[in-house]
């Protein structure tokens, strides 16, 4: 019995000393042009004041507390004045440098829920549900569990159907809309009569996205092959992995 009490004491001591660490995100710009990452926090902790500019090759490190959830995306073709007001060709978040709302679609998203539930697992994904503007990759650094690379490293702008294209001022394809944003129909938006996994199926458009980027969310109920988990990791988020 004495031995049992000792083992119980040791177990309680060890478990009481487990520290839930913060998570470090490194945002890296491998695009040949400046991007202005947008950052939206789903709770009270805002990272990087909601967004920072990154010139080609530049990176920034941000630290999130346990339980943080939110998303990152690239804004392109931006111009801001000294007060932080302006516009972006893609991913604009209300005409301000420091985002306090999500980006205007289309934009490729990196989504996170850090240290979720009793397991302490992180959940992460790259989503094309709101469309696509740049390549994006999420690479776990350390950690344990599945911890797979997630991303969309294909240039969807090059294969974007004409009816989904968003053009920049130079008449180049700047982004590719989702079918939901382009047509606003229930079968594309997984809404109304199509609001369940049983009634909302992949479409020709979402399957085009999925074929090009098999590890990314292509439509709202694309969970099985698109959500990844890891624990105790930091994350490298790269815009335009392997260049443009």
Kindly report the pTM of this predicted structure.
0.87
Contact 235, 25 (CB under 8 A): yes
- In the 8-state DSSP scheme, what is residue 183? H
Encode pLDDT of 26-48 as tens digits: 999 999 999 999 999 887 778 88
Beta bridge partners of 175: 166
The rounded distance, in Å, linking the Cα atoms of 105 and 223 is: 20
Tell me how many degrees the CA angle 89-91-97 measures, rounded to the nearest 5: 90
Half-sphere exposure (Cβ direction) of 73: Cα atoms closer than 13 Å: 31
* DSSP string over 67-115: T-EEEEEEEBS-EE-TTSBEE-SBS--SSBSS-SSPPPSS--EEEEEEE
- In the 8-state DSSP scheme, what is residue 193? G
The pLDDT score that the predictor gives to residue 117 is 63
More confident residue, 117 or 33: 33
Q: Shortest CA distance to 39 belongs to which of 6, 68, 2?
A: 68
**pLDDT category, 118, cuts 50, 70, 90?**
low
Classified as helix, coil or strand, 227 is coil
> In whole numbers, what is the pLDDT of the chain averaged over residues?
88
**pLDDT category, 213, cuts 50, 70, 90?**
very high
Least confidently predicted of 2-11, 35-44, 126-135: 2-11
Q: Is residue 123 predicted with pLDDT exceeding 80?
A: yes
Any idea which architecture 21-239 has in CATH? Sandwich (2.60)
**pLDDT category, 12, cuts 50, 70, 90?**
very low
Q: CA torsion sign, 171 to 176 to 181 to 183?
A: positive
The Cα diameter of the chain in Å comes to: 79
The pLDDT score that the predictor gives to residue 120 is 84
């Amino acid at each position: 019995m004495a031995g049992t009490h000792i083992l119980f004491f040791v177990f309680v001591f060890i478990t009481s000393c487990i520290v839930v660490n913060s998570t470090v995100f490194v945002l890296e710009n491998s695009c040949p042009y400046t991007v202005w990452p947008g950052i939206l926090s789903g709770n009270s902790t805002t990272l990087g004041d909601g967004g920072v500019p990154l010139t080609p090759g530049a990176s920034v490190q941000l630290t999130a507390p346990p339980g943080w959830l939110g998303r990152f995306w690239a804004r392109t073709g931006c111009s801001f004045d000294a007060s932080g007001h302006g516009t972006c060709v893609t991913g604009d978040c209300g005409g301000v440098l420091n985002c306090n709302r999500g980006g205007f679609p289309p934009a490729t998203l990196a989504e996170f829920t850090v240290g979720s539930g009793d397991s302490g697992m992180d959940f992460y994904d790259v989503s094309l549900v709101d469309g696509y503007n740049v390549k994006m990759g999420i690479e776990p650094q350390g950690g344990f569990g599945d911890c797979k690379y997630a991303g969309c490293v294909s240039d969807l702008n090059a294969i974007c159907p004409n009816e989904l294209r968003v053009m920049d001022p130079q008449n180049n394809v700047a982004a590719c809309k989702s079918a939901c944003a382009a047509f606003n129909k229930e079968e594309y938006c997984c809404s109304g009569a199509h609001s369940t996994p049983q009634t909302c199926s992949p479409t020709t458009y979402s399957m085009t996205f999925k074929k090009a980027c098999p590890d990314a969310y292509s439509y709202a109920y694309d969970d099985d092959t698109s959500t990844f988990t890891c624990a105790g990791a930091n994350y490298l988020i790269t815009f335009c992995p392997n260049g443009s």
